[in-house]
Amino acid sequence: MNRMPIATDLIGLPAQVRPPAFALRDVDPARLPAGSLVALPVLSGEDTAEGPVLGPGAEALAALLDLDLLEVLEQHRATGAVGEVITQVLPGAGLAAVLLVGLGAARPQDFRDAGAALARATKDRASVVTTISAIADDPALRAFVEGVVLGSFEFHWRSAGAKSQPLGELVLDGPVDRQPQVDRALAIAVASWRARALATTPSNLKNPAWLCEQAAVWAAESGLGLEILDEEQLEAGGFGGLLAVGRASATPPRLIRLDYAPGKSRKLPHLVLVGKGITFDSGGLSIKPGDAMSTMKRDMTGAAVVMSTMAALAAVGCPIRVTGVIASAENAVSGASYRPGDVITHFGGRTTEVTNTDAEGRLVLADALQYAVDKLRPDVIVDVATLTGAAKVALGLGTAAIFATDDVLAERLSAAGDAAGERYWRLPLADVYEEMLTSKVADADNAAGGPGAITAALFLQHFTGGIPWAHLDVAPVGDTLADRGVWTAGPSGFGARTLLQWLEQDAPLEGIS
């Protein structure tokens, strides 16, 4: 059974479903208790003419059941493709059923997607035993566990409870000394689960104050330091971007700071993660069309990713100091709304002319970035935000944008994304577009126009103080349209697994300058 706590409930919501538990033990498919469900791996075969290849346990189980499993695959026209799950019910055979799970070419990503498919095929089941883990090296095992967890994700606010329950326990064939790999994978997957859940929470519950309450729960659970600045402290500190964006809302803005350190030494390298926390984005007076507004409860995905990542750092053994800074506001409409033409003064003194109130994310991030530079003086800064529709136009719905002032930082994040199954494409901080930020009355214009993802990144760069910095624009992947692989329809929580894959490394900031 997994040994780490799996807390997936959120403040003010009904009890949520929990991810499956995992157990490691030697599995003999021929000696399983009556009624067991067994999941066996099926590989597509190196030569397509060869047909699918059955993995460990299949021969012994076929002999026990007097059942030709290759014939079962043939009857279903199965190929062993990734995510293919064939369920063969076994009435009167002692076992309840055998599940034949396609692994394709058995790459780590294939194990991740196969895990998600197995999770969907076994909902409401108490237990499943699998030999898939027996052919998985450590990266593949971790990917498989992540897939099982993420394929089990469900969020609900129903009076009768969730529509279905995830698989209760998955028994993995393997020695108990692989438990650390399972635990690490579980920590990363649960962080992604939590990020999805936060981003999916409706905005009639989720506001800046609620986000602070949830941050306090996770900080206490994970041993993080916590500091919250309310609207009076933000006013006194000169956080003009946060205050302007949040002014029209009945729920005032907040700045949340979370601190992690693996020990008492302050000489460790220091990273700051900054998250955009717009708990609902109406567009303000530059109001969004109705269709574009319907998903804006997830415009705090960046904050969700940072909070979830911070809560998992200890579990993955992050070796450096990390501070999470979340700029949270609701971009609403009222008589107090900030207006096109207003000039705001950010933390640190730089001014911005507002020409579009729907370009609010960069205004709150600017305050948070400058706060990180002036108050925290870190070695590296990374921000995460569903920032621009322009990134979605440029990259489609499956790839996030990454901008970086340091090549090593960009490469580390991209490699971590590849390992996590979260894809990025680096876009340029092309200073040829810098002149588009020009304002006649302020230091910059908040809506410089196209190329919109690049000009937004250039706007933010002015608040990074020359510190190595990366900006992850996850707007293209903020929502998933349908269940696909590890993704479930709705807000994605994209980015948490990338950051944790990076920050579990021995020296994640080494060579960045």
Q: Which residues are catalytic?
A: 288, 362
- Cα dihedral: 480, 485, 488, 493 (round 10): -70
Whose tokens are 């980015």? That residue is 495
- Contact call for residues 152 and 167 (beta carbons, < 8 A): yes
- Of 304, 302, 254, 299, nearest to 281 by C-alpha is 299
Q: And the tokens for 390?
A: 């322009």
- Contact call for residues 198 and 214 (beta carbons, < 8 A): yes
Q: And the tokens for 71?
A: 């014939």
Rg of the chain over Cα atoms, rounded to whole angstroms, equals 24
Question: Residue 35: left if φ>0, alpha if ψ -120 to 50, beta else—which one?
Answer: left
Pairing of strands 254-260, 225-229: antiparallel
- Of 271, 371, 251, nearest to 313 by C-alpha is 271
Q: And the tokens for 387?
A: 């920032």
Q: What distances in angstroms separate CA 7 from CA 218, 308, 311, 452, one per listed residue?
A: 9, 12, 11, 38
- Contact call for residues 69 and 100 (beta carbons, < 8 A): yes
Mutual angle of helices 301-316 and 179-200, in 10-degree steps: 160
- Contact call for residues 270 and 323 (beta carbons, < 8 A): yes
Q: What distances in angstroms separate CA 487 from CA 101, 119, 249, 493, 494, one per listed residue?
A: 18, 12, 32, 9, 9
Phi/psi of residue 348, nearest 5 degrees: 100, -15
